[in-house]
């Protein structure tokens, strides 16, 4: 099972080591094909890696103009009276990527893609869901729910979201031959992107997600939005099943808040309650799964290292290097 856990000292070493793995993979793949497809995450965890990646590109270690990218997720319902305003909102993930990676590159990526959540009018989405309850169903064992739209939905708007926003994004990835390497983070409950705890693995490629109330409230408490009314209630996200179709997945985690979900994903059987645990399924199917985590996130893994290794997972501690 090609599953490896690399333990680093801190955020900086995690970022540098993770970037080295990405750069090595880019250089290797571009020897055999013209374009490299990179999967990207938002959040704090990858920001240091992105700076190292941009620096390496600007120094000529690889040709960034031969890279195309696909992001994991995007909000629906960002403040703004039109698509342009929503796309430029500072809490939008497209804006985040420009600030943290795309804008740092001297030679821009060949193409960038962020899920097209800004095209959806949240008020109209809610109105259509309420008016057409037979057109959809909610899936999930916890507060966050995947909204599964019936392909034969009577609502033209809901059918458009399914075919032109959700299915089309997954089809575009497939049409480019899939993702060579995907960078992901992990939420406090083990979620990847907006595939929230309890949403089933199977059949969920691109997700329309109803965010739970705590997620919305925390976005306000953390200062991302001025009020609950301004904080998005929905999002678009790759589901775990789609994320882990990449040929390599690198998961970054730092800090003690990530300790429990990291340990649960490695020590226990895969479960949708801890979406990153899909990595075990992925590795058994032949995917290359790499965790790059700092010692705080790895504390419980180190305490149970023998149990982790018995499952065929390699642990490499580079924190003393």
Query: pLDDT (tens digit, 9 = 90+) per residue, 182-234?
Result: 999 998 889 999 999 999 999 889 999 998 887 788 788 878 888 888 889 99
Task: Please choose, from the candidates 156, 276, 102, 39, the residue with its C-alpha nearest in 3D space to the C-alpha of residue 164.
Answer: 156
Give the residue with greater pLDDT, 81 vs 97: 97
- Residues contacting residue 125 through CB under 8 Å, at least 6 positions apart: 76, 157, 161, 234
Residue with structure tokens 């065929």? 312
Residue 191 phi/psi, 5-degree rounding, is -85, 150
Residue 107 buriedness (CB in 10 A; 0-12 / 13-18 / 19+): middle
What gap in Å lies between CA 211 and CA 207, rounded to an integer?
A: 12
Residue 236 phi/psi, 5-degree rounding, is -110, 140
Q: Which tokens is 113 given?
A: 């893609």
Supply the DSSP string of 134-187, one letter for each residue. GGEEEE-SSSSEEEEE-TT-S-HHHHHIIIIIIIHHHHHHHHTT--SEEEE---
Domain containing 306 — which CATH number?
A: 3.40.50.1360
Q: Is the pLDDT confidence value at 26 over 80?
A: yes
pLDDT at 204: 83
The string of pLDDT tens digits covering residues 153-179 is 999 999 999 999 999 999 999 999 999
Residue 55: domain span: 3-317
CB atoms within 10 A of CB 94: 23
Q: Which residues are paired to 112 by β-bridges? A: 69
- Domains held by the chain: number: 1
Angle made by CA atoms 238, 199, 135, in degrees to the nearest 5: 85
Q: Which residues are paired to 67 by β-bridges? A: 36
What gap in Å lies between CA 133 and CA 4, rounded to an integer?
A: 44
Percent of the chain with pLDDT over 70: 100
Q: Is the pLDDT confidence value at 70 over 90?
A: yes
């Amino acid at each position: 099972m090609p599953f490896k856990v690399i333990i680093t000292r801190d955020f900086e070493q995690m970022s540098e080591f993770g970037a080295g793995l990405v750069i090595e993979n880019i250089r290797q793949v571009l020897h055999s094909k013209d374009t490299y497809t990179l999967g990207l995450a938002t959040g704090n965890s990858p920001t240091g890696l992105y700076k190292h990646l941009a620096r390496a590109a600007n120094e000529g270690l690889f040709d960034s103009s031969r890279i195309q990218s696909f992001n994991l997720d995007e909000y629906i319902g960002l403040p703004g009276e039109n698509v342009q305003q929503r796309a430029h909102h500072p809490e939008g993930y497209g804006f985040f990527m420009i600030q943290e990676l795309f804008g740092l590159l001297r030679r821009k990526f060949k193409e960038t893609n962020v899920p097209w959540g800004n095209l959806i009018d949240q008020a109209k989405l809610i109105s259509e869901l309420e008016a057409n309850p037979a057109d959809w169903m909610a899936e999930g064992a916890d507060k966050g729910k995947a909204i599964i739209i019936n392909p034969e939905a009577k609502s033209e708007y809901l059918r458009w979201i399914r075919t032109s926003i959700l299915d089309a994004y997954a089809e575009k990835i497939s049409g480019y031959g899939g993702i060579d390497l995907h960078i992901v983070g992990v939420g406090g409950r083990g979620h990847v992107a907006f595939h929230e705890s309890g949403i089933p693995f199977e059949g969920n490629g691109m997700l329309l997600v109803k965010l739970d109330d705590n997620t919305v409230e925390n976005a306000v408490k953390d200062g991302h939005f001025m009020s609950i009314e301004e904080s998005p209630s929905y999002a678009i996200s790759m589901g775990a099943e789609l994320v882990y179709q990449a040929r390599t997945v690198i998961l970054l985690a730092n800090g003690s808040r990530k300790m429990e979900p990291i340990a649960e994903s490695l020590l226990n059987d895969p479960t949708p309650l801890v979406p990153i645990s899909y990595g075990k399924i992925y590795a058994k199917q032949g995917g290359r799964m790499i965790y790059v985590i700092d010692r705080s996130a790895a504390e419980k893994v180190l305490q149970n290292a023998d149990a982790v290794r018995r499952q065929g997972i390699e642990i490499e501690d580079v924190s003393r290097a």
